[in-house]
Amino acid sequence: MAWTLTALAARAAGLVGLSERRPPEEPASTEGLFERAFQRAVDRAAAADAKALTVSRDQMRDDAAVLFRAVASGAPIPAVAALAAGWDGLGEATRRIVSHPSGEDAGPLEWAGVRARQVDQTTCGAATMGVMLMVGDPFVALWVATGRTLAGYEPAEAMHAEAEGFEALTVEERWHALQRVIHAQTTASALGPVAWPRSLGTPPWKVDESTRFAGLRFRGSLVDDSSPDRLAPLLAHARRALGDGIPVPMFTAGDSSLGIDSVIPRHVVLLVANAGTGFLVYEPGAGAVLPLADSDLHPGAGRLPALGHWSRAAWLVLPVPRRE
């Protein structure tokens, strides 16, 4: 059977008792991650700030989920309140980008006519992390869409783009700048004090530690797709994350049938929705959201568009359960 390095490593880990832990069987709450974060913020805030948060939620009405994401991102309350106060004035196109940066269905992913493609062949990981960041932080999505900041609050990535002197006058320039900033972050000090060569893309372990999403921690998981029983716990964990609004980065690879240089992680995509018997996947090479069936995640399925035209899943970046 054709093999991948990550599948062999996962199998070896299982033999010595280091196999991946299963996700919790039941959700901790019937509320979503972001709604819980909002309620915690209200409960912990001083009376005036709690009032500002609840008034802001009411101003957002049917789009309150955006406000919950803004609070979970760790943004200051004045910026959250400014987002709510100015929401209706942003315009429908901008509100759609900020509300649904990863799209709402399969098809091309575009923001104001700009296709959400990776800048070059080295930035698939950065593009994937950029879309994930926009999902988790409406202020980053707003900056990409408009270049605007609110109440003096500037997301760290926008600040870095400005400090590095990246052009940021258009949606396309800001999207490219976001990728460049993330790519620099994930390749710096990747091997102890030594930087990872940017020409080699994004090292998987740096995605684990560099992903900024709702204050969560993440852990990389080797994928052994050699049998449904080995794959099922990881897919269950991914579905649990997606059900809580957390996208899941996935590294893809070839296998030994495609040559020895294909057995390591080669590309990064983002699981953005659970489709029941599969997933919707943001693929940065195409700048599109593509369907991926569970039945395709096994050896011999061939090259798949949703995997960036690679054939195997190799590594998943999953949120660490809170009970840990």
Evaluate if residue 150 carries a pLDDT over 80.
Answer: yes
Amino acid at 248: V
- For the stretch 192-231, pLDDT in tens is 555 666 556 677 777 878 899 999 999 999 999 888 888 9
Cα–Cα distance measured from residue 265 to residue 41, given in angstroms and rounded to the nearest whole number: 39
**Separation between Cα atoms, residue 302 and residue 311, nearest integer Å:** 5
- Beta carbons of 125 and 270 less than 8 angstroms apart: no
Residue type, 174: R
- The total of other beta-carbon atoms located within 10 Å of residue 321's CB is 16
Mean pLDDT of 273-301: 94
At 296, is the secondary structure helix, strand, or coil? helix
Phi (first) and psi of residue 52, to 5 degrees: -60, -40
83 touches 138 (CB < 8 A): yes
pLDDT digits (tens, 9 = 90+) for 63-90: 999 999 999 999 999 999 999 999 999 9
pLDDT at 96: 97
Sign of CA dihedral 126, 131, 136, 140: positive
- Sign of torsion, CA 22 28 30 35? negative
CB 190 within 8 A of CB 170: no
**Alpha-carbon distances, residue 157 vs 29, 150, 161, 183 (angstroms):** 32, 15, 6, 11
Q: What is the pLDDT of residue 30?
A: 54
Tokens of 252: 């893809």
Backbone φ/ψ region at 259: left (φ over 0), alpha (ψ -120 to 50), beta: left
248, 73, 246, 59: which is closest to 143 by C-alpha?
Answer: 73
Please say if the pLDDT value at position 146 is more than 90. Answer: yes
As beta bridge partners, residue 150 has 153
- Given this model, what pLDDT does residue 116 score? 98
Which residues touch 193 (CB under 8 Å, ≥6 apart)? none
Q: Which residue has the tokens 């939620």?
A: 57
